[in-house]
Amino acid sequence: MHTIIRQLEEKREQARAGGGAQRIAAQHAKGKLSARERIELLLDSGTFEEWDMFVEHRCSDFGMGEQKVPGDGVVTGYGTINGRMVFV
């Protein structure tokens, strides 16, 4: 059971990385934050619960079939702003 939980947490960390450190660094170089960073700023600290973080694209055009990026879908979930429940 501990192995399964560890594997799940590793998959979560990969998905939270949003394409990896290089993609996040590229966003930062443009003066932008990643989607998850923007959500964390918007919501009350520690309240964001993400849905479907393991969803991956199904596109096969333009060579996309060979590219698999964990967590590359739309970031959705819920949390609170000033204590009020919101969905993002």
Question: What's the pLDDT score for residue 19?
Answer: 65
**Token pair of 72 as six digits:** 């590359």
Write out pLDDT tens, residues 26-40.
889 999 998 889 999
Provide the percentage of residues in the chain whose pLDDT is more than 90.
Answer: 34
> Which amino acid is it at 18?
G
State the pLDDT at residue 23.
Answer: 79
Structural domain boundaries enclosing 49: 2-87
Report the C-alpha gap between 43 and 17 in whole angstroms: 19
Check whether 69 has a pLDDT greater than 70: no
Q: How many other CB atoms are found less than 10 A from the CB of residue 71?
A: 23
How confident is the model at residue 83, as a pLDDT?
A: 97
pLDDT over 70, % of the chain: 82
Count of structural domains, the chain: 1
